[in-house]
Amino acid sequence: DPRDRYMSRRRIDAVIGSERLPFLSDRKDLPYVESLMKEVLRWQILILSVGHKLMQDDHYEGYLLPKGSIVMANAWCKCFANARYSCS
């Protein structure tokens, strides 16, 4: 949302000014920008894993995964299951 970018820029300018870029040491003074960055980085735009071919039959939570099946990690779940995976 453009309003988020605008608000982030206003807060950076208020804390740091326009004469320099933010440093890591500025993070504690920019909680809104920190939160926005965490949210932006949470959205995955690339596939984070490669498929793996099972070498033998596997059973997972009552399901049979036959030998030769291609399995992939569920990166989307890790990005959106906040109760299980912390954003901090």
pLDDT, tens only, 50-87 = 788 999 999 999 999 999 999 987 776 766 666 665 55
C-alpha separations of 61 from 31, 58, 65 in Å: 41, 10, 10
pLDDT given for residue 46 in this prediction: 64
Range of the domain at 12: 2-42
Asked if residue 53 and residue 87 are part of one domain, the reply reads yes
Asked if residue 84 and residue 61 are part of one domain, the reply reads yes
Asked if residue 52 and residue 35 are part of one domain, the reply reads no
pTM (2 decimals)?
Answer: 0.48
pLDDT given for residue 58 in this prediction: 96
Asked if residue 34 and residue 21 are part of one domain, the reply reads yes
pLDDT given for residue 79 in this prediction: 66
Question: What CA–CA distance (Å, rounded) separates 28 from 31?
Answer: 6
Asked if residue 51 and residue 87 are part of one domain, the reply reads yes
Q: Count the residues in the chain.
A: 88
